[in-house]
Structure 1
């Protein structure tokens, strides 16, 4: 246990999520203090951990997440809906420090955040979608975007990859999941928890 409470900020596009988390964490004032950020692009000075709602990955280009990862000293932890493991994998590929599930109870959430802040993985940290198939977070990110219907060029542009690097990721991914076509890859993804295009 830490000498003083962790200073934690919440970044969510949904007020109900931010307020709900704040209320949950208020039961643990000796372990966690929720602080406000002016925006996701704030410097997060004095903040130990930022909880980032994965919905931001679905509704934006995630530049705010990239800012938090690259321009702040805070640990960035994804707060993920279990039904969108593809977004969690995309966040892991971008370099977040960890993720926690929205299904956790308040005490479990505090414990998970403390572990990540201390540089320790949570028990289910390696349980990202595609892990059993041996997919890396980057490969999951690529498959996720394929499942969303993006072309190779659109995916390469979005991920800042050359088209040849992207094709290499696609070949490796297909080999790992045992498919040989885009249609088969999409079918595999839909059967393994990736969100449909209109989710």
Structure 2
């Protein structure tokens, strides 16, 4: 039985960038470019009409940027597509802002075709597309003192899972680290998201950094 097709919407104001992404994605089995637009202002109509699973969203665009477009999608749609923001620099504060409002991860414009394809498949599967070192650098400028998620009701095991999520580990890697089954880890991740009110893993990790639960200055796992 074949895997369902992953439909991707390209949002970038540079025609050459869109053409390159289309060529990469359309050449991969199971991936198809459902459409492309040149500005964030055109995203809501395109999403409603084309029903993509993933949106590759440029961060900086002249009219409506990727942050506002992502925020609008997440706040107005009951079942929004997953958004991967595309940026030139991983130290760009725009990246962190996009993650805060609902993007599931980010890609650098210099990413290889293999990395782009892997990113789309990874996010579609529900895993994180995080680069721990980059996120720590960005979080260091945004973290604040707080209750460190003390009111969230996380169990000791759930807190341990969240720390490993923040280090960029996948479910299978967390399972190996904690000597648990992958399904058990998925259950813990689901509980973490529910207790934090997070839409996905990325939102949970951002909350962990911002609250001080995970220090941006901690080393990777």
Asked if TM exceeds 0.5, the reply is yes
Question: Is 2:65 the counterpart of 1:66?
Answer: no
Residue 69 of structure 1, CA deviation: 2.5
Distance 1:132 1:66 in 2: 19
Instruction: Work out which of the residue numbers 104, 113, 121 in structure 2 matches 1:114.
Output: 121
1:23-38 mapped onto 2 (5 Å cutoff): 23-28=23-28, 30-36=29-35
1:75 aligns with: 82
2:47 aligns with: 44
Query: How well do the aligned residues superpose, as a CA RMSD in angstroms?
Result: 3.2
Question: Is 2:90 the counterpart of 1:91?
Answer: no
Distance 2:115 2:57 in 1: 17
CA deviation vs aligned residue, 1:113-156 (integer Å, no higher than 9, x gap): 1111111113525622624737449xxxxxxxxxxxxxxxxxxx
Aligned partners of 1:85 and 1:128 also within 8 Å = no
Larger helix proportion of the pair:
2
* Count of aligned positions: 138
Secondary structure of residue in 1 paired with 2:52: coil
TM normalised by structure 2 equals 0.52
Distance 2:130 2:105 in 1: 11
Residue 65 of structure 1, CA deviation: 2.5
Secondary structure of residue in 2 paired with 1:96: coil
Distance 1:35 1:125 in 2: 30
Unaligned segments of structure 1, at least 5 residues = 138-171, 178-199
Residue 41 of structure 1, CA deviation: 1.9
Unaligned segments of structure 2, at least 5 residues = 145-210, 217-221
Moved more, 94-103 or 67-76: 67-76
1:103 aligns with: 110
Aligned partners of 2:91 and 2:137 also within 8 Å = no
1:184-195 mapped onto 2 (5 Å cutoff): none
